[in-house]
Amino acid sequence: MSRTQSAPSSQNSVLEDAAMLVERARKAGAEAAEAIVLEGQSLGVSWRLGKLEDVERSEGRDVGLRVFIGQRQATVSTTDLSERSLGPLIERVVAMARIAPEDPYAGLADKALLARNIKSLDIDDAAHVPTAEELADAASEAEAAALAVAGVTNSGGAGASWGRSGVALVTSEGFSGSYSGTSFSVSCSVLAGEGTGMERDYDYSAVRHLADLEAPAGIGRSAGERAVRRLNPRKVKSQAVPIIYDPRVSAGLVGHFAGAISGAAVARKTSFLQHSMGTRVFAEGIAIIDDPHRPRGLRSKPFDGEGVENRMTRLVEDGVLTTWILDTSSARQLGLTTTGHAARGTGGPPSPSTTNLYMAPGKLSPEELIADIKDGFYVTELIGMGINGVTGDYSRGASGFWIENGKLSFPVSEITVAGNLKTMFLNMTPANNLVFRDGTNAPTIRVEGMTVAGT
């Protein structure tokens, strides 16, 4: 993918728009207000069987305004910043707040917690904007490499995309801040085999900077090889064995944990970890970290959705749960202070969410993690969402490879892995192969004593 030059757009006008909305809301009767402006541009192409299938381009600006009157709040959003639209919109949201039910936890973030020094996180590669032709070349290269793999018989398609987004937030407590970021991606999906014996697999790369993007040919070749490896899967008998989660699926376990320590779930008493603060919830040595300031991170941001200063947080230290994930509202419900994890769009109030979340790597290689397993299951794909957030019960369809005498032996499909997340967390061993590919990441993970439901 070649590179062309483009000047980054200014955030000044966006901040001015947000500040104007807050000022007008206050004049209309709001006691407090905040405005968020989200801007976005994107370009993407789809390519299949040697032909361009689709080109999509989008550009837009979305504005959200939240106002407070006492303990009452209301939110509106719009894409129309014309005076004809704004006047009635501001009047309407203030009127909505006057009749809204009281919420004892509503309100802007404490002024003392607001971010004052907005860091540069190197997430905006504004100098490199690919053309549709360049994206099509990348997608074509990925698909061609996949189809060249022996055993690949069809293509599910390849794609390449670019995007740039901007966020501006202004509050009546005095916060004013903005940031922007870019994204580049390439992906490929192919099929191997014939008839009812066909198998599908994929690979992708998504980054903030074009220079970090994996070579399209490598992505395609990996997708093809993964699909061929899945041919001729077998069934296995139901049994309890060690389960190895490939990094493509192990991040989901960390995501389930994050959902369980969300302040919203804890405040509602709907989390299986709601009584676990300060106790061991993972095996010794395990650390889980959320880092909003990771350079070039896919979910990096210099402040949270309420303008609160955010920072790296060790959610789990040596297996012990150290904190909830909190925004201002959930923190007030729990009698605590926000952890700077508020996230939001334009259509509603903030809610707690992670940024660059990951499980720290362990000491063993993936090969060492598997070496002593006589019989086990290496999971590469999970299907369905059989997770009970209240009890921690876990049951998901899975496919991957059977382990025999410490080695991957043959492909396996159409089985179910089951357990309880409380027990699974306490019986995890992470490998040393952590790679940052998504917003939530984990190395290869071994979990003892789970149930495989097969024939």
Radius of gyration of the chain (CA): 24
pTM of the model: 0.94
User: What's the pLDDT at 66?
Assistant: 97
As a whole number of angstroms, the distance between CA 216 and CA 146 comes to: 10
Handedness of CA 78, 166, 19, 355 (dihedral sign): positive
Of the candidates 405, 344, 419, which has an alpha carbon nearest to the alpha carbon of residue 376? Answer: 405
- The answer to whether 65 and 17 have CB atoms below 8 angstroms apart is no
Q: Is 274 helix (H, G, I), strand (E, B) or coil?
A: coil
The pLDDT of residue 3 is above 60: no
| Structure-token match 């949201």, residue found | 93
| CATH T-level fold of 12-227 | PmbA/TldD fold (3.30.2290)
- The answer to whether 160 and 136 have CB atoms below 8 angstroms apart is yes
Of the candidates 24, 25, 20, 175, which has an alpha carbon nearest to the alpha carbon of residue 96? Answer: 25
Per residue in 155-199, pLDDT (tens digit) is 999 999 999 999 999 999 999 999 999 999 999 999 999 998 999
Q: How much is the average pLDDT of 86-106?
A: 95
Would you kindly state where each structural domain of the chain is located, as residue ranges? 12-227, 233-455
Per residue in 30-42, pLDDT (tens digit) is 999 999 999 999 9
User: What's the pLDDT at 10?
Assistant: 56
Q: Strand 239-245 vs strand 199-207: parallel, antiparallel, or unpaired?
A: unpaired
User: What's the pLDDT at 154?
Assistant: 97
- Which residues, at least 6 apart from 353, have a Cβ–Cβ distance to it below 8 Å? 262, 325, 341, 342, 343
